[in-house]
């Protein structure tokens, strides 16, 4: 399908202001790398999201759904087809007693502050995680002993056929950085989070403590995608990389952080290739020295 005709069809679903052509993905990823997406669309309703996905399916146009790009490496050649970004627009939220409901595009930091305002505890661990609720639920995000599995009680999602479904409690099949939705390529639409009544001062103190730890131990001043690797069983990824003497190791503009070796940072004009080459070097080095496979936590997408 010609790009001009595809854009014409998309304009029948959403406002032209929500459609960008040949959009550099470096503007939409926390790593600040990535070539152009053929078309980037930001739907403002679930109905628009559903219609855009159907349009792509019916016309064999590749479609990729993203949040705010904090866990992505987009290749230097970019992404063919349509990128659907749900961050920001699909971010409504509300409260029912001690339960918060929210759409997938809301930032965890904003949701955590909302919980604080309403004196609800249980979401403090997520206050410094830079991603969206949708990604956090799909990947069972966690930090400082907390995980989404401990608080998410219901999720409305769209399956690969475009049907909206609901799962509750154990049906999420949460595991380490995975879930039922992730395993079945679903798209989180909104979730309900069950919290507990707490004292505002105590909740705020806990959130401040977690943020202090992040600032002290993580290279927040550089573009990155957080922890690059999953935690190998019985080990810590950052410690393994450090013990290989790779702290500060650099390829092009990509560098293993001296502050936290589990992070790769963009120290200036890094390319996606720089980052993936550095990932490969780390994986090979750790495998050779310790015989341990390092599985990436970040997602790599785009034309090779």
Catalytic residue selected from 30, 127, 224, 227:
227
Q: Which residue has the tokens 């995608």?
A: 225
Active site residue 303: no
Q: 284: which residues sit within 8 A by CB, 6+ positions away?
A: none
Catalytic residue selected from 177, 179, 190, 191:
177
Catalytic residue selected from 51, 124, 147, 297:
297
Active site residue 191: no
32: left (phi over 0), alpha (psi -120 to 50) or beta: left
Provide the 10 A C-beta neighbour count for residue 54: 14
Active site residue 227: yes
Beta bridge partners of 65: 84
- Give catalytic residues, as residue numbers: 177, 227, 297
């Amino acid at each position: 399908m010609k790009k001009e005709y595809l854009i014409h069809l998309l304009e029948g679903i959403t406002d032209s202001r929500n459609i960008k052509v040949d959009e550099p993905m470096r503007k939409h990823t926390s790593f600040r790398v990535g070539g152009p997406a053929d078309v980037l669309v930001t739907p403002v309703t679930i109905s628009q999201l559903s219609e855009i996905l159907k349009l792509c399916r019916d016309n064999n146009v590749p479609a990729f759904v993203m949040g705010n790009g904090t866990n992505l490496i987009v290749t230097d050649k970019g992404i063919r087809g349509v990128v659907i970004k749900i961050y920001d627009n699909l971010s409504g939220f509300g409260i029912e007693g001690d339960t918060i409901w929210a759409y997938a595009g809301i930032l965890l930091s904003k949701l955590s502050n909302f919980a604080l305002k309403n004196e609800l505890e249980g979401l403090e661990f997520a206050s410094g995680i830079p991603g969206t609720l949708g990604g956090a639920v799909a990947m069972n995000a966690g930090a400082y002993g907390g995980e989404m599995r401990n608080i998410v009680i219901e999720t409305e999602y769209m399956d690969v056929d475009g049907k909206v479904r609901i799962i509750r409690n154990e049906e999420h099949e949460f595991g380490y950085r995975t879930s039922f939705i992730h395993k079945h390529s679903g798209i989180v639409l909104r979730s309900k989070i069950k919290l507990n009544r707490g004292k505002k001062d105590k909740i705020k103190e806990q959130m401040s403590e977690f943020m202090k730890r992040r600032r002290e131990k993580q290279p927040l001043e550089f573009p990155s995608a957080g922890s690059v690797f999953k935690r190998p069983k019985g080990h810590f990824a950052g410690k393994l990389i450090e013990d290989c003497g790779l702290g500060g190791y650099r390829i092009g503009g990509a560098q293993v952080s001296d502050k936290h070796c589990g992070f790769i940072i963009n120290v200036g004009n890094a390319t996606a290739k720089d980052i993936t080459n550095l990932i490969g070097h780390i994986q090979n080095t750790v495998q050779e020295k310790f015989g341990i496979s390092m599985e990436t936590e970040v997602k790599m997408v785009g034309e090779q």
